[in-house]
Amino acid sequence: MVNEWDLKTKYQVAFADMIEQRTTMMKFLLDHYGIDAVEKFFLKENPGWAEHLKVGTMKKVFAKLLAKLLPRQLMAKLAEIIIENAQYLVGLENIAITESTDDYEIISITDCPVVKQFKRTLKALKFQNLEERYICTFGCFPVLRQMSAVGNCNLLAEYTEKGCQLKMALKPKAIEELELAESEEPVSLKNGNP
C-alpha cells in the first residue's frame, strides 16, 4: 500500500525541488558560461518569465485601481499584493510591513525559508562557488522588482543575516537611493554586498 503524502509534505517537497532547480541552473551557467550568463538569465529572462505568470494578472488589477486610488493608497495596496503573492515562498509569519510613510513602505522578511533552503541545497549538492545571496539576487528580487514596477514603484533590497528588507517607493517621489538603484543596471552581489 502506498502512503499518501499530506498537503504539508507535498508543499515541502515541491518547495525544496524548486530551490534545487534554480540552484542547479545557477551552478551550470556559472561553471560553463560565467557570471554574465547567470546575470543575463536571472536578471533579464527570469523577470520576463514572471511577467507571464504573475505580473500579467497584476497589470489587470492595477488598471482598475489606478483611477480609484491616490498614489499613497496604491503603494500600500501593492505592498499587500506582494506579501499575499509571496506566500508560496515565505509564510505570513515571516513577512510584514514594518514601516509605512507617504513616500515609501518597508517590507521585512525574517528567517527567510528560501535562504535556508538554498543553504541546505548548496551543502547537499556540495556546490562551492555559489554565494549565499545568489538566490535573493537572482531568484527573488528580480521578480519582486518587476511586480513593483507595475504599480509605478521602485524597489530596493537590503539583505539582513536571515532575510531582507524591501524598500518600496513611488516614482518619482522615491527615496534617493531607490532612484539610483532603478537607473542603474542590476549589479551582482557577493553575500549581499556590491
- pLDDT, one tens digit per residue, over 30-82 is 999 999 999 888 887 765 555 455 555 666 666 566 656 676 777 788 888 88
Beta strand segments in 34-109, E: 95-100, 104-109
Residue 63 grid cell: 488598471
> CA-to-CA distance for 49 and 146, rounded, in angstroms?
10
**What is the predicted pLDDT for the residue at 10?**
94
Grid cell, residue 177, equals 537611493
Residue reference for cell 486610488 = 69
Supply the DSSP symbol for 119: H
Q: How far is CA 186 from the centre of its chain?
A: 14
Tell me which residue of 120, 115, 122 sits closest to 27, measured CA to CA: 122
Q: What would the pLDDT profile of 109-141 be if each residue is shown by its tens digit?
A: 999 999 999 999 999 999 988 998 899 988 888
C-alpha angle 41-194-169 in degrees, rounded to nearest 5: 80
Q: Are 95 and 158 in contact (CB under 8 A)?
A: no
Backbone angles phi, psi at 22, to 5 degrees: -65, -40
Domains of the chain (ranges; CATH) run: 7-183 (3.30.1380)
